[in-house]
């Protein structure tokens, strides 16, 4: 896909990888619909994208809420008249061990709130946004590209029962939708980042971060722009569908 003049929606676009994705595609000449739950961050991303001369609009929306997603995508198609791309980037972490044991005693568990909040945003949110985007791509545009942000944690990362389950689900849904939507001219891909320098990672405890990053073969965190570059490849390569690109500095779970 030549993204110039196309309309691309990015969820979780207020900061981190989402902001980089928005800047990357705005820099390539795409008009951008930005979804996030943080109004101030959204406005900052929108203003940065608009500086490139494209149309950038922000929509306060919760990717995990059906009414919110439907309403936001209705607004996007009302404003832009078309939808060519969706990047399902919004995601959260609520890490905990399944059971936490100290001195032979179970002193904690992953709570239902930790489990459900991550499943709601990282799995249900991806499903809802993709469903609503696919409907609009078929009826308005006759095709498009959907890219889901998974994670290397989809292989199973200790302390991330909820996150690993959601990200494995995201990778599986990518394959399902690639098969279901190809007949409508929609390609679906995924990227699985390793550890990327964003506010999400900055929020980790230093000792946990050190433990997780020390085995990285390239010896450094990734930059958000390096993930945006990989997503750009998926958009631009018309043979790409149903696969997940690993961008992880060689780290394996
Ligand atoms: P981040 O810095 O925490 O940014 C996430 C953005 O998503 C925030 O602006 C956040 O808004 C927004 N968001 C959260 N819940 C939302 C919801 N329900 N609806 C709409 N927006 C919502 O995260 P990141 O590191 O850039 O991660 C982006 C994606 O990459 C996530 O899917 C993450 O799982 C994935 N990923 C990240 C890494 C990494 O190392 N950073 C590695 C692998 C995969 P608020 O500020 O309001 O919360």
Q: How far is the CA of 16 from the centre of ligand 1 (A)?
A: 7
Tokens 């149903």 locate to 242
pLDDT digits (tens, 9 = 90+) for 176-207: 999 999 999 999 999 999 999 998 888 888 88
pLDDT higher than threshold 90 for residue 144: yes
Going from the Cα of 89 to the center of ligand 1, the distance in angstroms, rounded, reads: 7
Closest CA to 154 of 120, 201, 192, 118: 192
pLDDT at 202: 85
- Residue 10: pLDDT over 90: yes
CA 64 to ligand 1: nearest atom: 18
Q: What is the pLDDT of residue 200?
A: 82
Domain ranges of the chain: 7-244
Q: What is the mean pLDDT of residues 27-43?
A: 98
User: For residue 149, how far is its CA from the centre of ligand 1 (angstroms)?
Assistant: 10
Residues touching ligand 1 (Cβ under 6 Å) are 11-12, 14-18, 35-38, 41, 62-64, 89-92, 121, 125, 149, 151, 193, 195-196, 198-201
Helix axes 161-181, 125-136, angle to 10 degrees: 20
Q: Fold for 7-244, please state it.
A: Rossmann fold (3.40.50)
Give the model confidence (pLDDT) of 203-244 as tens digits: 888 888 888 789 999 999 999 999 999 999 999 999 999 999
User: Percentage of the chain with pLDDT > 90?
Assistant: 94
């Amino acid at each position: 896909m030549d993204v110039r003049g196309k309309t691309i929606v990015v969820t979780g676009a207020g900061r981190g990888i989402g902001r980089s994705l928005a800047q990357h595609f705005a820099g390539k000449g795409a008009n951008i619909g930005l979804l996030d739950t943080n109004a101030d961050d959204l406005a900052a991303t929108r203003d940065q994208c608009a500086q490139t001369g494209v149309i950038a609009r922000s929509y306060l929306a919760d990717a995990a809420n059906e009414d919110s997603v439907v309403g936001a995508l209705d607004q996007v198609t009302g404003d832009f008249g078309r939808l060519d791309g969706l990047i399902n980037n919004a995601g959260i972490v609520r890490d905990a061990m399944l059971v936490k044991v100290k001195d032979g005693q179970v002193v904690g568990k992953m709570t239902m709130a930790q489990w459900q909040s991550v499943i709601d945003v990282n799995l249900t949110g991806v499903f809802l946004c993709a469903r609503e985007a696919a409907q609009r791509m078929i009826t308005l545009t006759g095709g498009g590209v959907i890219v889901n942000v998974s994670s290397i944690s989809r292989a199973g990362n200790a302390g991330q029962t909820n996150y690993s389950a959601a990200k494995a689900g995201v990778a599986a849904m990518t394959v399902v939708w690639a098969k279901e939507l190809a007949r409508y001219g929609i390609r679906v891909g995924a990227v699985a980042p390793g550890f990327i320098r964003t506010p999400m990672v900055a929020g980790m405890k230093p000792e946990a971060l050190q433990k997780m990053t020390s085995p990285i073969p390239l010896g450094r965190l990734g930059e958000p722009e390096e993930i945006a570059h990989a997503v750009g490849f998926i958009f631009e390569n018309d043979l790409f569908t149903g696969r997940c690109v690993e961008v992880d500095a060689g780290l394996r779970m």
